[in-house]
Structure 1
Amino acid sequence: MINETVGIIGGTGWLGGSIAKAVLAKGLVPSGNLVISNRSGNHPLVQQGASLVTDNQDLVDRSDIVIIAVRPEQFASLNINATGKTVISLMAGITAQAIAAQSLASAVVRAMPNAAVEIEQSFTPWYCSGGVAATTKILVQRLFECVGTAAEVQEEDFIDYLSALSGTGPAFPALLMMALAHQAMLAGIPDDIAQLAAKNVVVNSSQLLANRDAQQMIDALVAYRGVTAAALQAMSQGPFEEQIGRALQAGAAVARKGLQA
């Protein structure tokens, strides 16, 4: 349990709310040390002891660490003064320099969770800019471990690239599942069976990778020289990996460009 007061701007939204709920459930932050803001001034987390405010500057003034969990386009209108505070940004495409310049924060952490925070299975890379104390880094790591796994990266550009990789959350698996199901339906498989088969591959069977090396699993399956080997060979002959690379670069380009479009 930490003694600092943590404030979450946007703490009742999907992302901020999931984090707020997790840190309370896992006892990382005492309920009295969590401040969240929203416009309505009403939220169930208040029943667990969290403080709820309607004014973002009030939240900043009461907090040691401020988490900004709003959409990037909303940042310009926050108008907060976080002098002497550490700000943790969950916004894609807004640089640490821009955040520090507008908020006057003494240190900025950029982090990129994904939709799996909802089930506490997100991977969250994070980057520190400015004088972030070692104790604060430990807090950041523990905070994001409440909603999955996390790792510090040493270059800010990595956050932009990972926004297009891990930050996409279930988007790529969802696309794969749709493609598998669609191809099965084109082959005449009934829609419901095609959907079940595709979901099993993406959601259920992929859990085998949790504790296994992906390349070793591929090599073992190819070694059988059967159906799976034929399918993998056909896929490797096409531009599959190149398409993945283009997708990641396209997403990263948008993240790097930020709100300057």
Structure 2
Amino acid sequence: MRADSVGIIGGTGWLGGALAQALLETAFVGAGRLFLSNRSGSHPLADAGAQFMTNNQALVDASDTVILSVRPEQFSALSVDASGKRVISLMAGVTSQAISAATGASVIVRAMPNAAVDIRQSFTPWHCASELSASDVDYVQGLLTCVGTASRVPTQDCIDYLSALSGTGPAFPALLMTALTRQAVAAGIPEEVARDAARGVVLNASQLLSTTEPQALIDSLVAYKGVTAAALQSLMNAGFEGLIGNAVQAGAEVARRGM
């Protein structure tokens, strides 16, 4: 349990709420030292020890670390003075400079979790341009790993790029599963069977990658020159890797120019 108090503006949304729940359940923050803001001043998380406030400035004043978990388009309407506070932003496309100018904070951490916070399996990259002590790095890393794994990255551009890669969470696997299912149905496979087959590929068989190096697996399958090799070679010949690169770059450009 940490001695610092934490305030989450937007702490009852899906992202802020999942983080708040994890901070309490892992005892990263003690009961009574986690502050959440919402209009009503109440929420089921209060039963777990969170303190609720209707005033964002009061939340900031009570907190050592302030987490901004609002939609990027809502940020311009947020008016708080966070001078002297550590601010962690979970917003895509809002730069550290913009956050500092709006809040007066000098230590800004930009972090980009994804929807897997709900099951505490998010990968969360984070960046801070300020010099941080080893204890500050440990604190930020510890807070973010309450909902999965986290890594510090060297630039804000990395955050913008990863907003469109890891920040998309289940989006790419969902697209792949949907495509596999539809193509199987089009080929005459019963829909229920098609769904089960696609789920087996995306959810079940992919777990092998937790212990196998992906490129080594691809190389071995291509070398075998069987059914799987033919399917893989067709995708590679069609420029699959380039299509993925273009997709991530398209998302990253949205983050870079601001949302």
* Partners of 2:8 and 2:221 in 1: CA distance: 46
* Partners of 2:211 and 2:68 in 1: CA distance: 33
Equivalences for residues 92-111 of structure 1 within 5 A: 92-111=92-111
TM-score normalised over the length of structure 2: 0.97
Letter in 2 for 1:2: R
Q: Offset of 1:132 from its aligned partner? A: 3.5
CA offsets 1:95-142 (integer angstroms, 9 cap, x no match): 000000000012100000000001100000000033433322211101
CA offsets 1:219-241 (integer angstroms, 9 cap, x no match): 22223321111111111110211
* Partners of 1:214 and 1:100 in 2: CA distance: 40
* Partners of 1:212 and 1:80 in 2: CA distance: 48
Task: Compare 210-219 and 182-191 and name the one that shifted more.
Answer: 210-219
CA contact (8 A) 1:120 1:148 kept: yes
CA contact (8 A) 1:106 1:131 kept: no
- Which residue of structure 1 aligns with residue 71 of structure 2? 71
* Partners of 1:49 and 1:161 in 2: CA distance: 36
Matched, 1:145 2:164: no
Matched, 1:169 2:169: yes
- Which residue of structure 2 aligns with residue 155 of structure 1? 155
Task: Give ranges in structure 2 of 5+ residues lacking alignment.
Answer: none
Report the RMSD for the aligned CA atoms in angstroms. 1.0
Q: Offset of 1:57 from its aligned partner? A: 0.5
* Partners of 1:217 and 1:50 in 2: CA distance: 46
- Which residue of structure 2 aligns with residue 184 of structure 1? 184
* Partners of 2:120 and 2:202 in 1: CA distance: 19
Q: Offset of 1:61 from its aligned partner? A: 0.2
Q: Offset of 1:45 from its aligned partner? A: 1.4
Q: Offset of 1:211 from its aligned partner? A: 2.0
Equivalences for residues 18-29 of structure 1 within 5 A: 18-29=18-29
Q: Does the residue aligned with 1:81 lie in a helix, a strand or coil?
A: coil
Q: Does the residue aligned with 1:32 lie in a helix, a strand or coil?
A: coil
* Partners of 1:65 and 1:84 in 2: CA distance: 10
Matched, 1:199 2:199: yes
CA contact (8 A) 2:129 2:155 kept: no
CA contact (8 A) 2:24 2:49 kept: no
- Which residue of structure 1 aligns with residue 135 of structure 2? 135
Matched, 1:211 2:211: yes
TM-score normalised over the length of structure 1: 0.97
Number of paired residues? 259
Q: Offset of 1:34 from its aligned partner? A: 0.7
Q: Offset of 1:203 from its aligned partner? A: 1.0
Letter in 2 for 1:63: S
Letter in 1 for 2:90: L
* Partners of 2:251 and 2:118 in 1: CA distance: 22
Q: What percentage of aligned pairs have identical amino acids?
A: 60
Task: Give ranges in structure 1 of 5+ residues lacking alignment.
Answer: none
Matched, 1:12 2:12: yes
- Which residue of structure 2 aligns with residue 224 of structure 1? 224
Q: Offset of 1:196 from its aligned partner? A: 1.0
- Which residue of structure 1 aligns with residue 257 of structure 2? 257
* Partners of 1:99 and 1:184 in 2: CA distance: 47
Letter in 1 for 2:162: L
Task: Compare 207-216 and 13-22 and name the one that shifted more.
Answer: 207-216
